Amino acid sequence: MRRLCIERNILVWIACSWSIVGCESLPLDASQGSNSAFVDSVLQSMTLEDKVGEMTQLTLGSIGVGKPYKLDEPQRLDTSKAFTALVKYRVGSILNCGNHQHTPEQWHEFIEAIQKYAQQKESQVPVLYGVDAIHGPTYTTNGVMGPQQIGLAATWNDSLVRENAENTAVQVFGCGIPWNFSPVLDLGRDPRWPRFWETFGEDPLLASRMGVAMVEGYQNGEVPIAATLKHFFGYGFTLSGKDRTPAWIPERELREYFLPSFKAAIDAGAMSIMVNSGEINGIPVHTNKFMLTDLLRDELGFEGVVVTDWEDVKYLYTRHMVAKDYKEATRMSIEAGIDLCMVPIGFGFTNSLLDLVKEGSISEARIDESVRRILMMKKQLGLFETGGMPPPLEDYPDRREFEGGAAQAALESITLLKNEGQHSTDAAQPVLPLGGTGKVFVTGPTAHSLNALNGGWTGTWQGTDTLHNTPGMPHLAEALTNRLGANRVVDQRLSMDFKTADIDRVVRSIQQTRPDHVVLALGEMPYTEMPGNEEDLALYPNQKALVRAIHQTGVSIIGVFIEGRPRTFNDVEPLMDAIVMAYLPGDFGGDAIAQVLEGSYNPSGRLPFTWPRHPSSHLTYDHKHTEEISADSSTNAFNPQYQFGHGLSYSSVEVTELRLDQTAYAMSDTIHLMVLLTNMGNRSTNELVCVFSQDSVASITPSVDRLRYFDRVMVGPHESMTLNASLPVEDLSFINADLQEVVEPGAFSLRVGSKTIAFNVNE
């Protein structure tokens, strides 16, 4: 029965012609019920060894020729290793890329070979392949690379996020990969954390909206793939700010701030979840049954696959020291609720789990729970129908289909933070836009780097290898030359570790060429995870010295930050006449920045985080009232460089009136808010409208502000328009001391821009 069932499915696949474009693409069946009987029949036919293999995930490097982290080139499968892993051990999932990107043709070779090995095992269950395609098909040669998540968050445009995720899905699926380890739904509330740029910023509502959009783009688009919510949960709020170090987060705060984005994405149908690599309150999350079973399964109702992060079961005994060996670590993680272990090298997990079941420490019924979820995911993704084989290579899409979405996202992310007259004199006009005349000098350590524009997880894990850059995409200096003309642009390269002599050379060049403006590209080169740990959040000393030296020339400075987190620079901020935050905008970022600087695009990006003024003052916008008390007892201690949601345009829009439909509301009511907006300039402006709430008195100390609603509107030149916003009273809720989500009656207010209006909520 089992073999006939599998063979019939393979014949169905052979008879079908799956296309990754057009109406014949394989739909993602997210329903559980319609597939249950099939999954149960497959599960009942499987041996214990088959099942444990399904719960094992290895990296591509473990079955390639050469060493796992240094494969022989050109990369290819090692027949002995592949047979051992995929046939003998029945490994059911493979991930990663063998340390660098591959062409679609190479991906097809890998996937087809892996699935042919899977057909040799008795169960013939196809392999589930996963990859980190976090800002486009990051491990596919010539893929379209859009902004990283922090840049997408700066657009505050969930429809654009959805479009880019859908475009990613088409390209990734075209390589034969149906599973994506994205999005990151951790909050970026501490810019010291090296994965800050992988988040949607510091606010739960913003992260929820963007996260749902990304999940829907991956899973509900023309060619769907499975999304993975990372990293459940509280991962990015460590005490030290360093990656994979301990966090102390009470359950109330976990529920108030860190859970909403995951809950929203689970409710949107996310198919898998990856677990926080760290520990919270002394308990590694990979062993936390309360989080992974009681909360995730029983309370939130998540039915999908829970996968570990890289080597995290092993780390329970090599780093966290809560288990004595691999076997005990395996038992603890399975009992906590893990379904699939990202091993990713070797068979220590597989052998340990087999031993645990055979000796009775873990029941086979518990194994069946996880394997059923994995098989269900494979069924929903259509692997049993296609045998896991890639779609026809001739149908791989033209990258030009997706360039528009990535380019638009880059444009909408660019955030103008400051725009003053030269040296801030009252009489001077703002420096930007540059306009059609005047010479521009371009320099700085990120001005000539496509790697800096893309960040980590681009071509390679750390994103630093220039060999894997997309051909033909311009860095900032090239883009400005393309936009302004070679006769207007002078550029000079600097490395990240430039010295005093290099600064002197730049100053001499400025004095000789006598430009009207200096575009100074500052920031960081790519990093992620532990290699991005920093001891100091301040902008690098040599970059500050460069700002000071150029300022002495008397030429206006336009600072452009290309970086994954806000580095503090308050001591040199006054020396720059205009400041732009570009985040990590991707391959189209150089041109996006250039369009904003020269004025063909009216900047619309807004900060998705609070930019600290000092390295040790990284408070979020939703801080508490006591955090505003200064040493002199005044209330100005919260003094960031730039506020959450801040951003300028070339034609400013002001909130000129704020009205409510009532002055008091019942708990079941919806608040109707009318916001009158007036464009004070002569250009159409894509304006962000944020509605913040203030709770006057609460049983848990209330935040000064909480974001409750946001929307983008286009306001024409000198136009006034009314935005009507609806806000259910229940959205004013918080988590109380009993861990319940409540709205307490009393006095509230809503703020939009500088306007605030009060109201009451009654019992």
pLDDT, tens only, 424-464: 444 468 999 998 899 999 999 999 999 999 999 999 999 99
CA nearest 251: which of 625, 730, 735, 733? 735
Residue 69 structure tokens = 């982290």
Would you call the peptide bond into 430 cis, given omega within 30 degrees of 0 as the criterion? no
Q: Which residue has the tokens 């987190």?
A: 565
CA–CA distances in Å: residue 390 to residues 26, 131, 387: 12, 15, 9
pLDDT tier for residue 24 given thresholds of 50, 70 and 90: very low
* Cα gap 234→250, rounded to integer Å: 10
CA–CA distances in Å: residue 60 to residues 343, 525, 600: 12, 27, 45
* Cα gap 184→182, rounded to integer Å: 6
pLDDT at 70 over 70: yes
The torsion angles phi and psi of 16, rounded to 5 degrees, stand at -100, 155
pLDDT tier for residue 19 given thresholds of 50, 70 and 90: very low
pLDDT at 716 over 80: yes
pLDDT tier for residue 17 given thresholds of 50, 70 and 90: very low
Q: Is 309 labeled as catalytic in the residue annotation? A: yes
List, as one string, the DSSP characters of 200-232.
Answer: --S-HHHHHHHHHHHHHHHHSSSS--B-EEEEE
Cβ neighbours, 10 Å, residue 397: 17
CA atoms within 13 A on the CB side of 453: 32
Alpha carbon of residue 605 to chain centroid: 17
Domains recognised in the chain with CATH numbers: 1-128+362-392 (no CATH), 405-615 (3.40.50.1700), 651-761 (2.60.40.10)
Query: How much is the average pLDDT of 105-120?
Result: 98
Q: Given phi > 0 = left and psi -120 to 50 = alpha, else beta, which region is 196?
A: alpha
Q: Which residue has the tokens 């050109």?
A: 74
CA–CA distances in Å: residue 290 to residues 67, 295, 310, 340: 38, 6, 22, 18
16-20, 68-72, 345-349, 743-747: range with lowest mean pLDDT: 16-20
Residue 204 structure tokens = 């739960």
pLDDT at 14 over 70: no
pLDDT, tens only, 578-598: 999 999 999 999 999 999 999
CA atoms within 13 A on the CB side of 761: 27
CA nearest 437: which of 577, 593, 599, 575? 599
* Cα gap 729→199, rounded to integer Å: 28
Q: In a 10 Å sphere around its CB, with 0-12 CB exposed, 13-18 middle and 19+ buried, how is residue 672 labelled?
A: middle
Compute the Cα dihedral for 738, 743, 746, 747 and give only its sign.
positive
Cβ neighbours, 10 Å, residue 398: 8
Q: What is the dihedral of CA 358, 359, 364, 370, to 10 degrees?
A: -90
Q: What is the dihedral of CA 395, 401, 402, 404, to 10 degrees?
A: 180
Query: Cβ distance 211 to 267 under 8 Å?
Result: no
Question: Apex CA 460: angle with CA 459 and CA 463, to 5°?
Answer: 85
pLDDT tier for residue 34 given thresholds of 50, 70 and 90: confident
CA–CA distances in Å: residue 516 to residues 438, 477, 559: 6, 16, 14
pLDDT, tens only, 139-181: 999 999 999 999 999 999 999 999 999 999 999 999 999 999 9
Query: What H or E segment, with its residue span, contains residue 58?
Result: strand 56-59
- Give the DSSP letter of residue 322: -
% of the chain beyond a pLDDT of 90: 92
- Give the DSSP letter of residue 319: T
pLDDT tier for residue 307 given thresholds of 50, 70 and 90: very high
pLDDT, tens only, 191-233: 999 999 999 999 999 999 999 999 999 999 999 999 999 999 9
Does the pTM exceed 0.85?
A: yes
pLDDT tier for residue 634 given thresholds of 50, 70 and 90: confident
Query: How much is the average pLDDT of 669-687?
Result: 98
Q: Please pick, among 203, 309, 591, 622, the residue that the annotation labels catalytic.
A: 309
Q: Name the average pLDDT for the chain.
A: 94
Long-range pairs of 77-81 with CB within 8 A, sequence gap ≥ 24:
77/110, 77/113, 77/114
Query: How much is the average pLDDT of 679-706?
Result: 98
